[in-house]
């Protein structure tokens, strides 16, 4: 199964920098994902810069692509169950997790170009 998602980075950045921004970050991302983007808890109450927003948009797109791979059996409330991290060699990866009593292995790819972040996920 394959899933794909695209995010318009300027709109995502505006959402992150809105009065709801810190809530959005808490709903979507784990502490580990936030730290990987050099965002501290204080930053969530300040402006998220374009580089941070692009990185988070890519991770959000990857999470949405993973949900599609799982036939939409996870919802927005489950986004924190999907952990996207960057390996030492710079490749984006999904931390393995259990879904319906089975370990799920998923490959992902994330790309950014100007105002867009796109991600594709494939179950193994």
Quick: pLDDT tens for 21-44.
888 888 999 888 888 766 654 445
Which long-range contacts does 103-111 make (Cβ < 8 Å, 24+ apart)? Answer: 104/70, 106/66, 106/69, 108/62, 108/65, 108/66, 108/84, 110/58, 110/59, 110/61, 110/62, 110/84, 111/58
Is residue 30 within 8 A of residue 80, CB to CB? The reply is yes
pLDDT given for residue 38 in this prediction: 67
Considering the entire predicted model, what is its pTM?
A: 0.88
Q: How confident is the model at residue 13 (pLDDT cuts 50, 70, 90)?
A: very high
How many domains does one find in the chain? Answer: 1
CATH for 14? 3.90.470.20
Q: How confident is the model at residue 46 (pLDDT cuts 50, 70, 90)?
A: low
What is the full DSSP assignment across 45-73?
GSPPPHHHHHHHHHHHHHHHHHHHHTTT-
Q: Is the per-residue pLDDT at 108 higher than 90?
A: yes
Range of the domain at 25: 2-123
Place of tokens 């505006």: 14
């Amino acid at each position: 199964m394959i899933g794909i998602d695209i995010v318009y980075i300027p709109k995502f950045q505006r959402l992150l920098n809105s009065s709801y921004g810190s809530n959005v970050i808490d709903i979507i991302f784990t502490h580990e994902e936030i730290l990987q983007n050099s965002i501290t808890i204080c930053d969530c109450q300040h402006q998220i810069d374009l580089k941070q927003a692009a990185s988070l948009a890519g991770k959000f797109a990857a999470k949405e692509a993973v949900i599609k791979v799982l036939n939409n059996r996870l919802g927005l409330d489950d986004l924190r169950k999907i952990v996207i991290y960057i390996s030492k060699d710079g490749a984006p990866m999904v931390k393995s997790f259990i879904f319906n009593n089975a370990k799920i292995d998923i490959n992902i790819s994330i790309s950014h170009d100007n105002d867009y972040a796109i991600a594709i996920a494939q179950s193994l």
